[in-house]
Amino acid sequence: MRPRILLSALVLAAGFAGSAAAADISTHTFTACNLPDTGQTGDYTATFGEDPDYRPSGSQPSYTIYSPGGTSSVTVDNRTGLMWVTNPNDAGIASTYSWENALLACENTIGAAGTYAGYSNWRLPNVRELASLVDYGRQNPAINTAYFFNTQSNFYWSSTTITSASNNAWYASFIDGAVTTNTKTNPYNIRCVRGGPP
């Protein structure tokens, strides 16, 4: 029995190692992926242990803007490796969308033909990916606008549906950073992403 368990563990480990290598996107790999810090800088109690008490440099947000197609600039999150549309205006997705149309806008409007920055695999981010952009040290909008141009102080759709209520989906508020849910018919903004685990 013991040799089978060991063999299964080795097969699983090899599978995960292969997945990490296959997740290379553009200039980044996911082998050293770190989640970014929240951006909160103020202490609200005298007790040690709040977010601002832990500020290792490796967890601080880090972004790089590339312009492979002139105005088709992309912002790469150096912590997660995800590639984002830098400016929704340049990508032609600066409108508000119902949830279903938000999916289509990312996958078809800028993605299918590879018209934005030369990539064809753009998509609507899942809720965790979208929430990783929130900077809780800012508001109106709660994001670093030096790397994410024309972000509206508004709600942004994620691709994540509510399991218990399929007519609802998660969204992030870039007014104050809240992440919550609403019905999919509401008109919200979008910011498309590419990359992530296969």
Is a pLDDT exceeding 80 seen at residue 186?
yes
pTM score over 0.85 = no
Which amino acid, 90? Answer: D
Contact 55, 162 (CB under 8 A): no
151 compared with 49, residue with greater pLDDT: 151
112: confidence class by pLDDT, cuts 50, 70, 90: low
Distances (CA, A) of 150 to 6, 110, 143, 154: 52, 17, 10, 11
Q: pLDDT at position 7, please?
A: 36
Mean pLDDT score of the chain: 79
pLDDT at 72: 82
Instruction: Report residue 3's pLDDT band, with 50, 70 and 90 as the boundaries.
Output: very low
Query: Residue by residue, what is the 3-state secondary structure of the chain?
Result: CHHHHHHHHHHHHHHHHHHHHHCCECCECCCCCCCCCCCCCCCCCCCCCCHHHCCCHHHCCCEEEEEEECCEEEEEECCCCCEEECCHHHHCCCCCECHHHHHHHHHHHHHHCCCECCECCCECCCHHHHHCCCCCCCCCCCCCCCCCCCCCCCEEEEEEEECCEEEEEEEEECCCCCEEEEECCCCEECCCEECCCC
